[in-house]
Amino acid sequence: MPKALATNTLFLVVVIGMMIFFSLIVFWQWVKLENVQLSREACAIKFANYCERWAVCNYRDCKPNDWETTNPKIGCEEFEITEPNADKCKQTFPLPGD
């Protein structure tokens, strides 16, 4: 085997290996970014559903007690979304006439 051919082959193998390595790194970062966006959206939906169910009775005695058992059960605190009180729900979903 000529020396030039072995050097070119080795160079190509190294370059292809580096391309695969960096492609995997970019893909991994993209997957992590997608999970963060989905979690933020899931927590916002959880917040909205909770407040909408509570607004049905004008934020009185029918407060839903399922914040801890509704998915996503953990992780919403990272996005500063916690179990809302009546004032926070009223700001987001004002009642007619308020």
pLDDT exceeding 70 applies to what percent of the chain?
87
Q: What distance in Å separates the CA atoms of residue 59 and residue 96, rounded to the nearest whole number?
A: 13
Quote the tokens at residue 22: 């960096």
Which band of pLDDT confidence, cut at 50, 70 and 90, is reported for residue 34? Answer: low
- Model's pTM, two decimal places? 0.61
Rg (CA), the chain: 26
pLDDT in tens, 59-83: 888 888 889 888 888 888 888 999 9
- Tokens representing residue 65 in the block: 């007690």
Residues in the chain: 98
> 36 or 28, which is more confident?
28
Share of the chain above pLDDT 90, in %: 32
- pLDDT higher than 60, residue 1: no
pLDDT of residue 17: 95
